Structure 1
Amino acid sequence: MSSANASGDLSSEMKVDAFRCLFPLRFHERHLLQSTHPDARKLRKARDTTLALGVVAFADGSALAKIGCTTMLAAIKMEVMTPTTESPDEGCIAIDFDMHPICSPLVRPGKPANTSPVISKQLSDTILSSGMIYFKELSLVSGKSAWMAYLDVYCLDVDGALFDTALLAPVAAFSHLQILVVSLNDDGRVIVVSEEDGGKLKCEPVNKGKRKLKLSSVPFSLTCILHKNYMLADLTAEEESIMETLVTVVLDSSFQLVSLYKPGGLVLAYTSAILLQDCIALTQQSVKELQKVLNEAISEMEGD
């Protein structure tokens, strides 16, 4: 009897899988009628988010971020540069985003992913427009030297929420960043001071010790899909591939709107515009949760 039940269950599962492959939109719309994702989450419920700081030993700041199965590694390396004549009292950042073939079967070896330059530009636009970094803090000697922060973001695994995770990782990495001690040598050039050299300096250090970079208006994002009269939050890659109107809302830590991305899809109708307002409200709740996850990761790192 149990063998017959097992056989029946297997047959039923095979039918469900076949239906899901042949008619993916219909399969997902059946779940919409039950107000759930196929993974049993409520439509507006985000997946679990985890953060780990200081994961790259030789980076000045680093973090590993996961939303669901989507995983991003962000690492920051600081170097001394000559500031521009237009901004003699400011440092700057350079951002690079990379998707390796290991992250998705859609990314082929030797061929850059189509989404890489799009995500890279979104990251640059978001970080710069949010005002998260006060670039004057990166200045060392006015008109002569300043910090250049090289931020590299590596996508290790993709299952939806690509930009949300790609933004969370560098936000966490900048929260972990330690700015190094530097001094002026006899030629007036800036040199990085190691811990061993701290007591042997002829000249006073430009900054007295390693310090955190002060951040403000920290941006967080939530990606939703507006489908008919439904709004779904934190989509998997499968859900994103079959539903059209995708919207990413970026808010800062004060819940001010930083940006809103809507790549392609349908023109928003009146009902979708109402759902968009719901999406912004839901993003506010998501910001609170992400701030909590980030604060817990910082506390755990400082405790260690």
Structure 2
Amino acid sequence: MHDGMHGIYKVLHPDKYFNDYLTEDNRPDGRKFNDHRNVKLNVNCIGTSETSAVVKCGNTTVICGIQLELVTPKPEEPDLGFMIVNVEMPSMSSNKIRPGPPSDHAQVINNVVSDIILNSKCVDLKDLCIVHDKLAWVLHCDAICMDNDGSLVDACVIGLMTCLKTLSLPTVKFDPETEEIKVDEVERIPLKISGLPVATSFCLLEQNKRIITLTEPTSFEEEMCGGVGAHLIVSWNESLLIGMQKFGGCNLTPENQKEAMKIAKIRSKLIHDIIDTCIKNKSKK
């Protein structure tokens, strides 16, 4: 069928268009059910942030950056710094997003990305404390979605983890008597990172008495599977499973769960290699 006819057929009969592909064990973008999307990553390309990354998974595009701030630690946690994760989904990122306050879905995406990174313990918040009960770093980790074509959580985690792995902290001297703070931007200390969490999204769909698991669904696939996002997100930190979150969809069988965990683990290693390679190539320039 001609590309133009494909587009018309997709608009007029989206359900049949989608199911015709699934019946042939294919997907509209040419992938098999378990295939992931191509990943493109650019490191430290934004001069206004301490560190930055632009990641593209398929058509989903996210710009990430980290800014630093010095603050006083919480009285109940005097030896800990802070890491604040914020995901923004402006209206230009999708025709389904309206201008104004963040939608419920946007807030869910923000919370999921934040939970994956913070709960992985990849950053020890004690390393962000400079002086007990006096001075600590805040890492403002921002991710802005430029194009949301599905599996947004995956792209945000890749971008933010790339930023964290390339972040170095300025040396800070604190005078306890005068409370004077001196920041040396030249002499910097690389942030210690423990592991590298990677999230992989899936959509679940029941067809002809079988449950189909679609790896890294596009926004069209997410919509056709009856959701506003992925149904299942599996997160690995290297060889450690750190989370499995389910958001609606059909029931998850033990076989589907095992398959999703296996695919996510393999993809985790691949993403790890991609990030390391991009950082090494950047450092050579």
TM-score when normalising by structure 2: 0.91
Query: Which residue of the partner structure matches residue 267 of structure 2?
Result: 286
Once the two structures are superposed, what CA deviation does each residue of 1:40-83 show, in whole Å capped at 9, x if it has no partner? 11221111101111122131121111101111111111111111
Fraction of identical pairs, as percent: 25
8 Å contact kept, 2:158–2:198: yes
SS of the residue aligned with 2:154? helix
Q: 1:182: how far off?
A: 1.5
1:169 is aligned to 2:194: no
CA root-mean-square deviation: 1.8
SS of the residue aligned with 1:46? coil
Query: Which residue of the partner structure matches residue 191 of structure 2?
Result: 213
Structure 2, gaps ≥5 residues long = none
Aligned pair partner of 2:24 in 16, 21, 34? 34
Query: Which residue of the partner structure matches residue 237 of structure 2?
Result: 252
Q: Which amino acid aligns with 1:215?
A: I
Q: C-alpha separation between the residues in 2 aligned to 1:91 and 1:122? A: 21
Q: Which amino acid aligns with 1:263?
A: F
Q: C-alpha separation between the residues in 1 aligned to 2:141 and 2:4? A: 45
Query: Which residue of the partner structure matches residue 231 of structure 1?
Result: 213
Q: 1:174: how far off?
A: 0.5
Query: Which residue of the partner structure matches residue 190 of structure 1?
Result: 181
TM-score when normalising by structure 1: 0.85
Once the two structures are superposed, what CA deviation does each residue of 1:254-289 show, in whole Å capped at 9, x if it has no partner? 2x2211121122333xxx331121011000110011
Q: 1:25: how far off?
A: 2.3
Max Rg structure: 1
SS of the residue aligned with 1:193? strand
8 Å contact kept, 1:91–1:135: yes
1:103 is aligned to 2:93: yes
Moved more, 25-34 or 152-161: 25-34
8 Å contact kept, 1:250–1:260: yes
Taking structure 1 as reference, are residues 36 and 98 closer, same or farther at Cα in structure 2, changes over 3 Å only?
same
SS of the residue aligned with 2:104? coil
Taking structure 1 as reference, are residues 241 and 190 closer, same or farther at Cα in structure 2, changes over 3 Å only?
same
8 Å contact kept, 1:55–1:63: yes
Q: 1:13: how far off?
A: 4.8
1:94 is aligned to 2:105: no
Query: Which residue of the partner structure matches residue 200 of structure 1?
Result: none
SS of the residue aligned with 2:192? coil
Q: C-alpha separation between the residues in 2 aligned to 1:86 and 1:182? A: 23
Q: C-alpha separation between the residues in 1 aligned to 2:182 and 2:95? A: 45
